[in-house]
């Protein structure tokens, strides 16, 4: 008979101690990408506002944009209910209107920095090694300062790193971090949000933005000097048309459709005025109006012929040479190697007049380097000029002169948490006591010390403590307590009845994880945890395996390719997974992770279901008072913590290496990119190429 090791080991430790011998990241999709960037790296991290997934592949939500060879019936805007927009004069006269912020994000950052003390000059910062919090703060303060008049080298090229190729240049089809990064430079949008996730309309695109007092209308007046890269004027009709494409069921873009489908209608009254109609007054309306915009004159003839927007000759050609509305256009793509963007004059010069701030780089070149070790070598050589570092690379591979010769590095908190996800329909994890036991069984301190090198902090639920949505008093993080784990398992019926060293129990079966019980039988507690095929992720799951073995549970670690992990997750075909999510710009984006309806129509891959949480999310989107609304999401945080559908592990910092020639990079809770102003303030000083 095998005996469990942890109790005897614990007692031995006490004995030895007694003897004195004992000595350890501009649209709702952009808003949602914040939450989904992480399922992309772990499950596969921006310019969006949602929960982002994390794993170097597709973001989980947008990965639902599945294109098949099956023929589809095309009915344009079939998801839009019939609606006859009233005259504009009637809407204006019958409503009271409140002005909403229309801001220049660069000037917003400049105002912020005017009130901050600069802790070092760039020269002083570049002489430092980032070996302490104080040095990190000095480097961020110095290297993040915005350019002054005459300081920018506008002919410079920026060599960026991306870990994967882009699959599509169509903003409606975005499905990976690389595509978000490229789209942030090539696509136009009406709205954005700052480093505090506060939304605004951009002065580059919008003249005015107003919301009706009853919350049922948003009225936007667009500028008249907007141009697509083919010279065609960008109008309100492009916005309304894009909404109709998104609301066409045969177009495979459920990611972008999420949120947009809560709108009642979008109508262009003239070339510059667009009204967003809402079904009801919701706190989330401000995000629902933020969706990608595509050129109507290009797609109105191609979409009916090919609703996939990917297969036809016309769409293939558009994917290679897209018509862009942003500051850059793609001039070269070599699959698996590089994507080259060029600044377009028609973005900032119209009819011979400078109408917008000139983008800081003439060329931005994305180097596609999948292997992180190869990418780091390229960074050290100067072939690429920025990359996100792993904790191990930060700790042990970027401390010497070889790195600092061409680079510096900095880090900041990112609202990205990692977890073990338990399938709540699995016979093993249906009982909350078992899920709590998993959290007690795991050695969280060893994870933080050995696998995260003491750089990251324990996660205490879905919202980081610096978020306004987090409870004022966070629950205490789990620490390993194998006795508590065993007691909880025993209370749930898991005991070693046949003395074979493995727990067993009579459990209800749900063979296909559809929520329907198929019968009962006695089972050994032996399950498989799926993890992306990355060694650092595998090592964390192996630690779980070792911990569970001490209390009579067999955990098999199964590394799989990202696409396989993604598919099995969407189909709920797993017992446990290791993954991560980035927190969305608005807490309502987490609805797609935690509500019962999101099991079949969202990202609730673990099939968690709580009537309490379902109702709280409904209450949260309808509560307009900021303080009362925050209290609702704090309750959600605490309820999830009690139920432990995940074992929350750690919040990841954003670790970046930057070439010494770069200036103007700052951080948000999503990292240095894809927020306002994000990458648009990065520059090379005059005299540097």
Greatest C-alpha distance within the chain: 88
Spans of all domains in the chain: 427-437+480-574
Q: Which residue has the higher pLDDT, 167 or 442?
A: 442
pLDDT tens track for 588-629: 989 999 999 999 988 899 999 999 999 999 999 999 999 999
Range list of H helices, 432-534: 432-441, 444-446, 482-491
Higher pLDDT, 258 or 370: 370
Res 7 pLDDT > 70: no
Phi, psi angles (nearest 5°) of residue 124? -65, -40
Q: How far apart are CA 505 and CA 4, in angstroms?
A: 17
Q: Which of 292, 296, 288 is nearest to 268 (CA)?
A: 296
Nearest CA to 160 out of 472, 482, 388 is that of 388
**Mean pLDDT on 455-465:** 95
pLDDT in tens, 135-155: 999 999 999 999 999 999 999
Going by C-alpha positions, the residue among 328, 336, 338 that lies closest to residue 366 is 338
Confidence tier at 513 by pLDDT (50, 70, 90): confident
- pLDDT of 445 > 80? The answer is yes
State yes or no: pLDDT of 1 exceeds 50.
Answer: no
Q: What is the pLDDT of residue 115?
A: 96
Q: Residue 109: what pLDDT?
A: 98
- Locate 450 and state its tokens: 């050995």
The pairing of beta strand 554-560 with beta strand 526-532 = parallel
Give me the count of residues in the chain.
689
Task: Record the pTM.
Answer: 0.85
Q: Is the peptide bond before 677 cis (omega within 30 degrees of 0)?
A: yes
91 with 217: CB under 8 angstroms? yes
- At 72 the pLDDT is 59
pLDDT tens digits for range 287-301 = 999 999 999 999 999
Higher pLDDT, 35 or 503: 503
The mean pLDDT value of the chain amounts to 89
pLDDT of residue 602: 85
pLDDT single digits (tens) 25-46: 233 434 344 333 344 443 333 2
- Check residue 27 and give its pLDDT: 39
Does 69 score more than 70 pLDDT?
no
Query: What dotted CATH number matches 427-437+480-574?
Result: 3.10.105.10
Tell me the pLDDT tens digit for each residue of 187-205.
999 999 999 999 999 999 9
Q: What percent of the chain has pLDDT over 70?
A: 89
pLDDT digits (tens, 9 = 90+) for 321-361: 999 999 999 999 999 999 999 999 999 999 999 999 999 99
Instruction: Determine the pLDDT at residue 501.
Output: 95
Q: Report residue 227 as tokens.
A: 């141009």
Q: Average of pLDDT values for 257-279?
A: 96
Is residue 362 pLDDT above 70, yes or no? yes
Mean local confidence (pLDDT), 6-13: 33
CA distances (Å), 613 to each of 32, 179, 437, 617, 642, in order?
19, 33, 22, 6, 12
Q: Out of 69-83, 307-321, 652-666, pick the least confident.
A: 69-83
CB atoms within 10 A of CB 294: 25
pLDDT tops 60 at residue 58: no
């Amino acid at each position: 008979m095998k005996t469990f090791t942890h109790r005897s080991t614990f007692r031995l430790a006490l004995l030895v101690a007694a003897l004195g011998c004992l000595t350890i990241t501009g649209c709702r999709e952009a808003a949602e990408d914040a939450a989904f960037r992480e399922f992309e790296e772990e499950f596969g991290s921006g310019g969006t506002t949602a929960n982002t997934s994390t794993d170097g592949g597709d973001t989980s939500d947008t990965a639902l944009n599945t294109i098949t060879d099956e023929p589809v019936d095309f009915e344009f805007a079939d998801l839009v209910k019939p609606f006859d927009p009233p005259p504009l004069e009637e809407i204006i006269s019958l409503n009271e209107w409140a002005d909403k912020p229309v801001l220049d994000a660069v000037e917003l950052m400049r105002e912020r920095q005017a009130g901050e003390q600069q802790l070092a000059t760039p020269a002083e910062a570049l002489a430092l090694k980032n070996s302490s919090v104080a040095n990190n703060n000095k480097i961020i303060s110095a290297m993040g300062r915005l350019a002054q008049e005459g300081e920018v080298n506008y002919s410079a090229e920026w060599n960026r790193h991306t870990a994967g190729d882009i699959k599509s240049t169509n903003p409606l089809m975005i499905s990976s971090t690389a595509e978000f990064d490229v789209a942030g430079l090539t696509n136009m949008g009406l709205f954005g949000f700052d480093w505090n996730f506060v939304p605004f309309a951009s002065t580059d695109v919008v003249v005015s933005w107003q919301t009706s007092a009853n919350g049922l209308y948003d009225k936007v007046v667009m500028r008249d000097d907007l141009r697509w890269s083919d010279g065609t004027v960008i109008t309100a009709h492009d916005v309304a048309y894009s909404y109709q494409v998104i609301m066409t069921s045969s177009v495979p873009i459920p990611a972008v459709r999420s949120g947009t489908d809560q709108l009642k209608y979008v109508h262009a009254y003239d070339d510059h005025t667009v009204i967003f109609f809402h079904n009801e007054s919701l706190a989330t309306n401000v995000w629902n109006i933020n969706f990608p915009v595509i050129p109507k004159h290009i797609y109105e003839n191609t979409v009916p012929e090919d609703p996939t927007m990917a297969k036809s000759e016309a769409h293939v050609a558009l994917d290679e040479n897209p018509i862009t509305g942003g500051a850059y256009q793609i001039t070269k793509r070599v699959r698996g190697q590089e994507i080259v963007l060029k600044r377009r004059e028609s973005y900032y010069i119209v009819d011979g007049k400078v109408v917008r701030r000139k983008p800081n780089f003439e060329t931005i070149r994305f180097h596609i380097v999948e292997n992180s070790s190869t990418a780091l070598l390229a960074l050290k050589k100067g072939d690429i000029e920025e990359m996100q570092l792993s904790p191990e690379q930060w700790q042990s591979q970027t401390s010497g002169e070889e790195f600092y010769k061409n680079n510096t590095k900095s880090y900041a908190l990112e609202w990205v948490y990692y977890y073990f996800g338990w399938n709540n329909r699995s016979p093993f994890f249906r009982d909350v006591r078992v899920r709590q036991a998993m959290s007690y069984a795991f050695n969280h301190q060893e994870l933080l010390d050995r696998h995260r090198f003491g750089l990251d902090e324990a996660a205490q639920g879905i919202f980081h403590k610096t978020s306004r949505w987090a409870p004022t008093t966070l629950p205490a993080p789990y620490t390993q307590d194998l006795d508590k784990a065993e007691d909880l398992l025993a209370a749930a019926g898991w005991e070693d009845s046949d003395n074979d060293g493995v727990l067993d129990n009579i459990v209800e079966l749900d063979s296909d994880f559809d929520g329907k019980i198929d019968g009962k039988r006695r089972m050994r507690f032996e399950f498989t945890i799926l993890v992306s095929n990355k060694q650092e992720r595998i090592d964390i799951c192996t630690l779980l395996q070792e911990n569970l073995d001490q209390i009579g549970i067999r955990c098999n670690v199964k590394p799989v390719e990202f696409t396989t992990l993604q598919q099995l997750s969407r189909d709920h075909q797993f017992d446990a997974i290791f993954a991560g999510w980035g927190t969305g710009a608005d807490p309502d984006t987490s609805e797609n992770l935690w509500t019962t309806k999101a099991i079949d129509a969202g990202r609730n891959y673990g099939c968690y279901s709580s009537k309490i949480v379902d109702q709280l999310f409904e209450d949260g989107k309808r509560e307009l008072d900021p303080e009362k609304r925050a209290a609702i999401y704090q309750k959600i945080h605490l309820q999830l913590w009690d139920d432990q559908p995940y074992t929350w592990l750690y919040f990841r910092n954003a670790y970046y290496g930057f070439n010494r020639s770069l200036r103007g990079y700052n951080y948000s809770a999503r990292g240095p990119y894809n927020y306002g102003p994000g990458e648009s303030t990065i520059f090379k000083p005059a005299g540097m190429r």
